[in-house]
């Protein structure tokens, strides 16, 4: 048996939904699985999304042999543009996933430098000391793969996101027979999707969504709009199928969805007879009952087509009574309120809105408990590391594993950055490396401990008050009463008197020798502090106070 | 038949969950049903909660005969302290509701001026031209009432929040027989709870929660903590019952829950043998397996006991492995993320956490579709106004009413402020009065169109940049390079160089005669604008820019 341990390090995807990234390290070889983004949460003002902190990978860049991608959703590929800027590493993905990655990198002008490779399932290849084999799983996107990584210590099976669907949209059911062959000689470690590990029973098949979309489109009297994720290719196929059946044309709104649909059509992942998909300008010439509009915006994203349509701010589409709007997605946690507002706005405009709470127009793509048990039973691993999910999901999954006979000491609920070392005999968390979120704010990256975020939270809560003092360098006295301005702090009628008193208070403080002998920075801090205390006493608010002192 | 119409005006509770308030007006008489708060949403920075805009009531204060309260939840009584400050009107409520209102008003020193009256169910009384009769309904609080208001035009039935529970915690099932008698002569208008009008079937009984709590407490090895709403008195009774059965003591943490529990014990709505409820200091002396801690914090409120416990910041309670924590509530929309974080933190500290997704430790208190149909069928109203719920819930409920035979023109999906006039023959929305939210921010009330909110949103997104210029009154030139400071805008290493260039840009602009001939305000606006454009070009961010110009 080899002496070296296998090191397993989550850099993302634990403790939070999204932002998946797992590191497998054996001696001088590293493979990385997935490179996703985490969608911004409500308490992260100004942040677009988060990517994993890859300091550990940058420090070990010479060891990295490959990034393996399980499937083409944002929370698995979204960080690639950032990661590939730092790491010149080959990326391996299935055909459709490769297509989606290419679209993403091309949009950022980063495609030509990337080393992208297409992987066929069940076609093993070597990267460093590892032998890698992709196997088919079902998820809410075609060409989703699990990955078997044969290491000198044994086989690691990483499921990616999966569910067990006997009637999936793309016809490729989870291939248990092949997985059984791959894992026939025993499995060291199973890393398995935990997103729905809390939920009993089985997840429903994508087939019922196809049926619900079909019946909604059949019964629609006017125009139909379908909102979903840009990457939910199988939904687009359902819609195209219904369009053909009920003699409608499909038009696609929004850049990311158009790009993905075109790519998927070119690659054969979508099939539509010529003339089925038409441009918006052509769709506008058709009677409403001949049109289906596909758009993004199922998460209530403020700049998306659907939200602009719901607000009456879209240049091409205006909702009219008789329209049917289908939201074919569930809100990602944190988006519940904005999605609900979008639905309400569409109802107010007279649309008939179908959404997951009242119609089966969406099912998710993750295994529930019985499916997870089936995976555990088939793979029968020595060790279990639940991945993909918040901490409580990982714990549910670990308990499920224990109920299936995996000893408690062989199940590991990890945090990002934990270094798990596995040998043939035992596993231990031996170290913690830097890990966590890097926040993407437009073109800037913010460290997760950045003051910017806490400053913004404080600004959001109580606003800002600025006091400007001009001191005479010769006399040390203020030339005029200090000026006070604010934003987000108080209504004008309330602040006018308050700011006059603030100004007087500062003047009095300065005149009472407050300025004497103090350095400028000390004086500033003292004035800021006295203003903060004064405003809190008067208003019970704690605005950010910025003091500027000029000496002339 | 009388000539005057009945006017029905929602001032809150439509289009949003919570903040319920309905106005019924006949000639010179007004009765108001409920006065609730709306819990703050994620996009309302610094706002604690919202209360209804009662401008219409203030303008018509001489007409108001009574405020009738259906039950004691915050979204039905929370605005009373604000409303009673403006309106000197008698309030009528059932006994427990009266108790909860008294606790609330006493906490704010407003009890002695309030005119509170206890109402027994099925004991009609007159207010102005109206005859009012409370009738029992089931909801997740004891003493919940529907209200029948006999007007000169006919009977209005307002259900309040309700579900149909044959095994409720307090033993009072929804009393259909009495309601049938009250409504025997026909009903003009039904205003009915729409919160769960989207959901098919029946809502589960509170009984299954009692069973789940019982079994969780029976099986707990160590300490048990139960988090719920301060007003969910029936849950407290379930916990007390289990405590007695399994030989534990109950201690209550948090002011609002303690006050409510004491009041409910005194009034007989909670029964506990002496010695069952103990003080925290006594509970700390007991072995962990003899203790149950009841606390608020089921919504992840940052200052609540449970959240402080989960963060390790509570003075009396530290979670240890072996503890069981039961979250006996569902997240209110918008609170999903903070509740999930609280659960994750508790798991990380080693607690076994039970919550609604994995155990039946909570059921809600609102009727599902079959129950709503039963109410419709029993009351058989001429007109239907769905109340309590967001717009899409009202629409679902209206459709349900239509499916039960109420003509479409007799079902009204209203917005806050709509004035619905009903006669014996027909109903129309004839007017719109001022209505909406007033935001409560600490001790201040903000108008819903207040700039403060939008200013805070902008501050939250991109921070603030302040530029201070000191001009010489004689030469019109700046004394020194303008100072630039910021908060929440950019990291220091990035902003240093940027701010130097900003300062130079302003100096250059001023020297190029920018200041010449302009009034101070114009100059300020010009400088602000040039800085905004400069910073956007450089950073793609749009911070709030505040410019201060001193002339000395």
Residues of A in contact with B333 (CB under 8 A): 336-337, 340
Spatial separation of the C-alpha atoms in residues A301 and A289, rounded to whole Å: 27
What angle do helix axes B336-348 and A391-403 make, rounded to 10 degrees?
A: 50
* Paired sense of beta strands A116-118 and A125-127, if any: unpaired
* Paired sense of beta strands B464-471 and B544-551, if any: parallel
pLDDT in tens, A17-68: 567 899 999 999 999 999 998 876 666 788 888 899 999 999 999 999 999 9
Q: Which of A503, A499, A490, A496 is nearest to A462 (CA)?
A: A490
Whether residue B95 is found in the same domain as residue B243? no
Burial classification of residue A208, based on how many CB atoms lie within 10 Å of its CB (0-12 exposed, 13-18 middle, 19 or more buried): middle
Residue A216 lies inside a defined structural domain of this protein: yes
Number of other residues whose CB lies within 10 A of the CB of residue B285: 9
What is chain A's alpha carbon radius of gyration, rounded to the nearest angstrom? 28
* Paired sense of beta strands B324-327 and B145-151, if any: unpaired
- Average pLDDT (A302-308) is 90
Spatial separation of the C-alpha atoms in residues A138 and A123, rounded to whole Å: 18
Whether residue B438 is found in the same domain as residue B466? no
Backbone φ and ψ for B545, nearest 5 degrees, come out as -110, 125
Instruction: Kindly determine whether residue A460 and residue B457, on different chains, have CB atoms separated by under 8 Å.
Output: yes
Q: What CATH number did the domain enclosing B499 receive? A: 3.10.20.580
Number of other residues whose CB lies within 10 A of the CB of residue B63: 16
Residue B1 lies inside a defined structural domain of this protein: no
Spatial separation of the C-alpha atoms in residues A345 and A342, rounded to whole Å: 5
Burial classification of residue A3, based on how many CB atoms lie within 10 Å of its CB (0-12 exposed, 13-18 middle, 19 or more buried): exposed
Residue A359 lies inside a defined structural domain of this protein: no
pLDDT of residue B231: 80
Whether residue A369 is found in the same domain as residue A427? yes
Whether residue B522 is found in the same domain as residue B507? yes
Which of A409, A443, A477 represents a domain boundary (last residue)?
A443
Instruction: Kindly determine whether residue B347 and residue A391, on different chains, have CB atoms separated by under 8 Å.
Output: yes
pLDDT of residue B472: 84
Tokens, residue A199: 């939920």
Tokens, residue B207: 């009984």
**Whole-angstrom distance between the N-terminal and C-terminal Cα of chain A?**
78
Whether residue B198 is found in the same domain as residue B213? no
Determine contact: B548 vs chain A, CB below 8 A. yes
Please say whether the beta carbons of A186 and A59 come within 8 A.
Answer: no
pLDDT of residue A435: 92
Q: Which of A442, A413, A58, A369 is nearest to A196 (CA)?
A: A369
Task: Name the percent of chain B in helix, strand, coil, to the closest 5.
Answer: 35, 25, 40
Residue A545 lies inside a defined structural domain of this protein: yes
pLDDT of residue A408: 97
Render B353-410 in DSSP notation, one character per residue.
EE-TTTS---------HHHHHHHHHHH-EEEEEEESB-HHHHHHHHHHHHHTT--GGG
Residues of B in contact with A463 (CB under 8 A): 46, 452, 455-456, 459
Spatial separation of the C-alpha atoms in residues B422 and B384, rounded to whole Å: 11
Spatial separation of the C-alpha atoms in residues B294 and A300, rounded to whole Å: 37
Whether residue A133 is found in the same domain as residue A149? yes
Instruction: Kindly determine whether residue A548 and residue B485, on different chains, have CB atoms separated by under 8 Å.
Output: yes
Annotated active-site residue A98? The verdict is no
Buried b (16+ CB within 10 A) or exposed e, B467-480: bbbbbeeeebebbe
Looking at the structure of chain B, the number of domains it has is 3
| Mean of the per-residue pLDDT values of chain A | 91
- Average pLDDT (A84-110) is 94
Q: Which of B62, B47, B114 is nearest to B452 (CA)?
A: B47
Q: What domain range is B190 assigned to?
A: 6-202+364-443
Annotated active-site residue B238? The verdict is no
Determine contact: B460 vs chain A, CB below 8 A. yes
Whether residue B412 is found in the same domain as residue B384? yes
Residue B38 lies inside a defined structural domain of this protein: yes
pLDDT of residue A513: 60
Q: What CATH number did the domain enclosing A131 receive? A: 3.60.15.10
* Residue A36 to residues A22, A33, A132, Cα–Cα distance (Å): 10, 10, 20
Tell me the pLDDT band of A160, cut-offs 50, 70 and 90. very high
Residue of B161, B193, B416, B441 marked catalytic: B193
Long-range contacts of A116-122 (CB under 8 A, 24+ apart): A116/A90, A116/A91, A117/A90, A117/A91, A117/A92, A117/A93, A118/A93, A118/A94, A119/A92, A119/A93, A119/A94, A119/A145, A120/A94, A120/A95, A121/A94, A121/A145, A121/A175, A121/A178, A122/A178
Residue of A73, A238, A362, A366 marked catalytic: A366
Instruction: Kindly determine whether residue B344 and residue A15, on different chains, have CB atoms separated by under 8 Å.
Output: yes
Number of other residues whose CB lies within 10 A of the CB of residue B380: 14
Whether residue A512 is found in the same domain as residue A438? no
pLDDT of residue B16: 55
Long-range contacts of B270-275 (CB under 8 A, 24+ apart): B270/B233, B270/B236, B270/B237, B270/B240, B271/B237, B271/B240, B272/B240, B272/B244, B273/B244, B275/B249
Nearest C-alpha in A relative to B16: A341
Spatial separation of the C-alpha atoms in residues B204 and B366, rounded to whole Å: 10
Backbone φ and ψ for A143, nearest 5 degrees, come out as 60, 30
> Within the 125-184 window of chain A, which residues sit less than 8 Å (CB to CB) from chain B?
none
Residue A347 lies inside a defined structural domain of this protein: yes
Please say whether the beta carbons of A10 and A417 come within 8 A.
Answer: yes
Residues 6+ apart with CB under 8 A from B230: B254, B256, B257, B259, B260, B296
pLDDT of residue A436: 87
pLDDT of residue B516: 58
Residue of A75, A193, A241, A416 marked catalytic: A193
Within 13 Å, how many C-alpha atoms sit on residue A413's CB side?
22
Whether residue A180 is found in the same domain as residue A255? no
- Average pLDDT (A214-241) is 92
pLDDT of residue A264: 92
Point out the residue among A343, A488, A552 whose CB comes nearest to the CB of B452: A488
Q: What CATH number did the domain enclosing B288 receive? A: 3.40.50.10710
Which of A383, A414, A443 represents a domain boundary (last residue)?
A443
What is chain B's alpha carbon radius of gyration, rounded to the nearest angstrom? 28
pLDDT of residue A18: 61
pLDDT in tens, A376-392: 999 999 999 999 988 99
More confident residue, A1 or A64: A64
Tell me the pLDDT band of A516, cut-offs 50, 70 and 90. low
Determine contact: A520 vs chain B, CB below 8 A. no
pLDDT of residue B424: 94
pLDDT in tens, A328-378: 988 877 788 889 999 999 999 999 999 988 888 888 899 999 999 999 999
| ipTM confidence | 0.82
Whether residue A281 is found in the same domain as residue A344? yes
Residue A141 lies inside a defined structural domain of this protein: yes
Q: Which of B336, B92, B235, B86 is nearest to A390 (CA)?
A: B336
Residues of A in contact with B490 (CB under 8 A): 444, 452
Whether residue B460 is found in the same domain as residue B400? no
Which of B443, B478, B498 represents a domain boundary (last residue)?
B443
Residue A1 lies inside a defined structural domain of this protein: no
Q: Across the 552 residues of chain B, what is the mean pLDDT of every consecutive 10-residue run?
A: 88 68 97 89 77 96 98 93 96 96 91 95 97 95 95 97 88 85 95 94 91 95 93 89 97 90 92 95 95 92 90 92 94 84 93 90 92 96 95 95 97 95 97 91 83 91 94 82 93 88 90 67 91 93 93 84
Instruction: Kindly determine whether residue A344 and residue B391, on different chains, have CB atoms separated by under 8 Å.
Output: yes
Whether residue B324 is found in the same domain as residue B213? yes
- Average pLDDT (A181-187) is 93
Determine contact: B445 vs chain A, CB below 8 A. no
């Amino acid at each position: 048996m080899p002496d070296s341990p296998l090191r397993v390090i989550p850099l993302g995807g634990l403790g939070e939904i999204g932002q998946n990234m797992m590191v497998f390290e054996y001696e001088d070889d590293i493979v990385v699985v997935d490179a996703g983004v985490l969608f911004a949460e409500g308490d992260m003002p100004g942040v677009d999304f988060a990517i994993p902190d890859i300091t550990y990978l940058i420090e070990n860049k010479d060891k990295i042999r490959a990034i393996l991608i399980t499937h083409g959703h944002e929370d698995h590929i979204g960080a690639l543009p950032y990661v590939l800027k730092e790491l010149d590493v080959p990326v391996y993905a299935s055909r459709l996933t490769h297509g989606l990655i290419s679209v993403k990198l091309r949009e950022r002008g980063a495609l030509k430098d990337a080393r992208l490779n297409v992987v066929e399932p069940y076609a093993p290849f070597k990267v460093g000391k590892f032998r890698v084999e992709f196997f088919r799983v079902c998820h809410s996107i075609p060409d989703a793969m699990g990955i078997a990584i044969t290491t000198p210590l044994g086989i690691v099976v990483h499921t990616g996101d999966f569910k067990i669907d006997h009637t999936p949209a793309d016809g490729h059911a989870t291939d248990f027979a092949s997985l059984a062959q791959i894992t026939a000689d025993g499995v060291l470690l199973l890393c398995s999707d935990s997103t729905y590990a809390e939920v009993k029973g089985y997840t429903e098949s994508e087939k019922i969504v196809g049926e619900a979309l079909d019946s909604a489109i059949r019964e629609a009297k006017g125009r139909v709009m379908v909102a979903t994720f840009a990457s939910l290719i199988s939904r687009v196929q359902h819609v195209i199928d219904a369009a053909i059946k009920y003699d409608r044309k499909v038009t696609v709104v929004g850049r990311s969805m158009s790009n993905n649909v075109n790519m998927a059509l070119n690659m054969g992942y979508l099939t539509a007879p010529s003339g089925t998909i038409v441009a918006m300008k052509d769709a506008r010439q058709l009677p409403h009952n001949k049109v289906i509009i596909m758009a993004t915006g199922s998460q209530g994203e403020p700049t998306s087509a659907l939200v602009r349509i719901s607000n009456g701010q879209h240049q091409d589409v205006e909702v009219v009574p008789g329209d049917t709007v289908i939201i074919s997605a569930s809100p990602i946690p944190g988006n519940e309120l904005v999605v609900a507002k979008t639905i309400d706005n569409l109802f107010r405009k007279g649309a008939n809105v179908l959404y997951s709470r009242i119609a089966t127009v969406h099912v998710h793509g993750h295994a529930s408990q019985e499916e997870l048990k089936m995976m555990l039973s088939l793979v029968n691993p020595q060790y279990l590391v639940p991945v993909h999910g918040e901490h409580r999901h990982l714990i549910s999954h670990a308990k499920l594993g224990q109920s299936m006979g995996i000893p408690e000491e062989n199940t590991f609920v990890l945090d990002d950055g934990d270094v798990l070392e596995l040998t043939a005999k035992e596993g231990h968390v031996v170290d913690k490396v830097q890990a966590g979120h890097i926040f993407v704010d437009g073109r800037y990256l913010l460290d997760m401990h950045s003051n910017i975020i806490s400053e913004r939270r404080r600004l959001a809560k109580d606003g800002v008050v600025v006091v400007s003092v001009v001191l005479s360098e010769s006399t040390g006295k203020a030339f005029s009463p200090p000026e006070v301005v604010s934003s987000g702090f108080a209504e004008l009628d309330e602040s006018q008197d308050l700011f006059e008193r603030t100004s007087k208070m500062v003047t009095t403080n300065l005149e009472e020798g407050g300025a004497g002998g103090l350095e400028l920075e000390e004086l500033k801090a003292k004035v800021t502090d006295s203003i903060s205390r004064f405003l809190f006493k008067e208003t019970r608010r704690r605005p950010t106070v910025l003091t500027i002192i000029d000496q002339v």
